[in-house]
Structures are given as structure tokens and as C-alpha cells.
Chain A
């Protein structure tokens, strides 16, 4: 009896320690967002005088926010927020669509060959800092700097490989006989792909989409180098609150909460698909 209680106790300790390990930074951000300036640098969790000032500040029109020496020149968060939604949304859709068809070819026809498939991971093997400069020069010549299109192209290119690899796993699970049966019953190959394979791996599309979305949503380096005014994304915007003359931790934390809202909402909406995806292939 006591043995069981002890083992149960130990189990909870481990779970709590694990959750603390991954979630405390988030909690810290959460409470920080409600702290007023004097409390930003103090190492305790809960604000003594909770305030929503930080949230209001980030929507203020362009101005110098100055509070007790901490200053930064920032725009309101609206434009970066829309930019992020647009750029990340479009590049995710693009990466998933291209990823699906590439994965289909790889799974069914072993094209473009395992080695080439491995090579689609190349941009993920190098630290992005190594090729951001060439891209910047290239983009400058193509007049793609500070443009949505430039970011969409780059984001979908570096993340399409996840779409390919994740979706190939899903498509491999779909018995080729199902497609052959559809063919024999008179479907064209295009119909087979769109009416049979695609709907069956739907949860895979959603999961790879979420994964790609999260990666791009939090991407900082490319956006920092390649955008300036028009196409600034949320992570770049957030980084601006750390200026040469001071750090605006409070508004930064408030922005952190705002920017995590979108992925959280998306995650909530697609949770049904997440479950399906985790058990995919086990039940037919």
C-alpha cells in the first residue's frame, strides 16, 4: 500500500519536474506581461501590482516609449502581426502543397531518389546564418528585400523538406492497392490522388502544416536580415523592444503572449487531426 503511494508520488514528481522544465519560461513570460516597469527585472513570479499597460503600449502609434530610461522606437504591432499571418500562412500552404506532391512521387515512384530527398534537408543542416548573407545580396538584386513574396519564397523553400518527410511517412502507410483498385474502377490517376490518397492523409497535411507554421512563425534571423519596414514580421518586431538604450521586457512579454495566441488557437482547432495523425496507420 505505502509502496504504491510512494511510486505514485514519485511519478507525479517526475511529471511536474518535466512540465516545469518546458513550461516555466512560458509562465515567466505570462506573469512578466502583467508586471509594471519596476518589477520587470525582479525574480519573482507574480506581479505585486498587475497591470495591462504593456498590452496597451504595443498598440500605440509610432513613438518613443520611454519609461525610466528604457526607450525604443517602435511601430504598433498591427502591421507586423498581419505580415506574419500573411507570410507564414502563405509559405505554410505552399510548403505543404509542394511537399505533398513531392512526397507522393517519392513514395510511389521512388522519385527523385532517396539521396536527393535527403538533400532537401541541406538548408536545415547549415546554420541559417551561413546563407542569409548570400540570399540578402541575391534578393537585393531581385528587388525582393523587404517584400512579402521574398519571405514567402524563402520560408516555403527551407521548410518544404519537413512537408516532404512527414507526408512521405503518411503516404507510405496508404496501401498502394487502394489506389490500384480505384484505377481499375475507372478513376484517372489525378482522381486517385485527389479523391483517395489526399483525403486519407488529411491529418498528415494538417500536422505537417502545423509544424511548418510553428517553425516559420518563430523565425527571426531571415526576417531580421531581409525585412525592414514593409514586411517586418512579429519576431523581428518583438526584437525591436530591446534597443541600444534599454530593454522593454514588459511589452516584449505582452507581445509574446499575443504572438502565441495564433498557434494556440490553430492547435486547438485541429486537435482532432493531431490525434488521428498520432494513431495513423495503426487503425485501418
Chain B
């Protein structure tokens, strides 16, 4: 497979602020690639640099083997769908779709053919004569996407296109976008702060924070092996549990004490020596996803942590349970259960094979 976009060492400063800090990544042909991060992390600036709307201070941008770093936006072979869909309200749907071709002086017959083709794919055929300003959001989004792809860009950039849309419509639009991308084999760079959106649609995700890319991987790679505390916390809903703990050695076993020896996790020393050996005596954070936490009413083998249910939140088929242990909470997400109530004393199991260990100071993952 061919690389469609290569970003090398991209850096953009605004005064003293380094908005994008030596960012590098590539996107393959036909790939749906997301830049994911909280607002202000530099993802939109990265996208605007690629689009040519910002001039980078350092680095190179290569689109389909062509260095476009110094080219004008319109010379780069890209299209951009903005958060506020750039649908011209004064034009008909037809004229909106035809805009890019018209300004390029494409012959009329060819414009007509292409517009009809796109309108067919996007289910806009019946609205072609309507004035775009009066249409609903989901139609506007389809027009915006149609306009962007009719000029056959090498790569389509989308800047938080679903942020302004309400939840119901969002779901349909997500599916629609993914369908279009597969059907038309478009290469997409998608910018979002919504981890769920990125997880559901992307082939690969780059997680960004403070101008840097922290990790690049498939959604499951990022979910299953986050590189650091930030990523673990940012991905997944409800948020991952992070329990402060300390690593010690007891009887030739590594012992991870959770909060003042209330509970501990023990592993054989010889199995983990090369990973844990150098962290003995240090503060650690145990990360465990809420859906992996197990809760029992009676004491059973492995259910070593004792706590009290503080709060139960039912979300349809599932429930989220807040168990209080000393002054820390642990969240568990389980299928609906009728035997657990607020105020119950319970036993909690944290499956060893599901935990992440982070160094509390560097926040980097060690296991």
C-alpha cells in the first residue's frame, strides 16, 4: 500500500506557545486516520498546516510523493470539511456541489455528470434544486462532504465535523461517513476530541496532547495497551480506574500494595523481574478498566479488596457501580444486576492479566 500523506517533524509556534511540537505520522491510501486529543492539543493546527491554512515553522508535508509544504492550499490536492459545514447558503445544492468544478472551468457536461453521480451516492438527488441554506444539518454535512470529494482530492481532511450535531443525528452521520469512505475509497484525516467517535470510525488513531503525538495505533491497540496515564484516561468510557499503590518485595514475590496495605496484588518475582525489578519501592498507579472489575457479595477466591457500594448508576443494559475503599473509589461497569444496592459491603477482584501499571511520577506505562 502506498503512503498518501507523510508529515515529518511538523512544528508550529504562536509566539511562545508551541502549538504543534515535532509531529510526525503517515497515512496510507484509503485509510481513515484520526487525530484525537483534548481541545487545545494542537490537532486542528496540525490539520490546518496540512491544508496550507497555516504556515509551519519546521517540518515537511508530503502528499502523494510531492512536497507541498510551500504550496498554496489550492495546489495541494486536499479538501477540508469544517466544523461549521461550509455550505454556501445562497446557492442551490447543485451549485454547491458543482462549485469546485465550476471555478476550475470544467466543461458543463462533465460537471453535470459528476454532480449527479455524487448526489446519487449521497442521497441528495431530490434536493438538488433546493437552496442549501434551508436544509437540515445532516443534509448540509452530506453537501459539504460531496463538495469536498467531487474535486477528487488526494486526501480529505475533516475538522470535528460532528461536534455541532446532536447525539441521534451524530450516530447516523458517523455510519454514513464510514460507508462513504469505504465505498469511495477516500483517504481521510479526521480531527476530533471525541474518543468514542475516533474509536468507532478510524483505522488508526494518533493521540495528541500538548502539541505532541503520544501514541499511534489501531483503536484496539490504543485501548488495550495505552502508553501512558494520559492515554489510558482519555480513551474509554467510563474512565479507567487509577489506584495509587506501592511496589515492594515480600517473600520473594512482588507485592503491589493498594493504599496503605488495605489490599495487595502479588506476583512471582522471577517471572516479572526484568519489568518490575527496577521499580521496587516506587509509587505506582494501577490502571484497570471499569468493565474488567469484578464484584461479589460473598468473599471468594481472588476477591481481596473490601469496599462499600456508594453509588449505583443504571444505564440501560449496564450499570456503573462506585465502590468506596477508604478514601478512594473504584468504578465497575457490569451487566445489570439486581443483587447490588447502594450501601452493600462487597468484595472486589481486579484480574491480574487486565491491569496496567504506570510509574506514578513519569506516568509512563511499565506493564
Contacts and interface: CB of A to CB of B under 8 A. Distances in A.
Contact of A200 (B74, B78, B79, B88): B88
Given A199-B90, A200-B89, A184 B79 contact: yes
Interface residues of B, number: 26
B122 interface: no
A96 B322 CA distance: 65
Contact of B73 (A184, A191, A199): A184
Nearest to B75: A186
29 contacts: A175-B84, A175-B86, A178-B82, A178-B86, A178-B88, A180-B51, A180-B73, A180-B80, A181-B80, A181-B86, A181-B148, A182-B88, A182-B99, A184-B73, A184-B74, A184-B78, A184-B79, A185-B99, A185-B100, A186-B74, A187-B103, A188-B103, A195-B103, A199-B88, A199-B90, A199-B91, A200-B90, A283-B133, A284-B89
Contacts of A184: 51-52, 73-74, 78-80
B280 interface: no
B84 to A, nearest CB: 5
Interface string A22-38: 00000000000000000
Contacts of B53: 180
A276 to B, nearest CB: 10
Interface string B103-143: 11000000000000000000000000000010000000000
A52 interface: no
Nearest to B86: A181
Contacts of A199: 88, 90-91
B43 interface: no
Interface residues of A, number: 20
Interface of B: 51-53, 73-74, 78-84, 86, 88-91, 99-100, 103-104, 133, 144, 147-148, 151
A124 interface: no
A178 B140 CA distance: 13
Contacts of A202: 90
Contacts of B73: 180, 183-184
A186 B100 contact: yes
A200 B88 CA distance: 8
A185 B147 contact: yes
Contacts of A175: 82, 84, 86
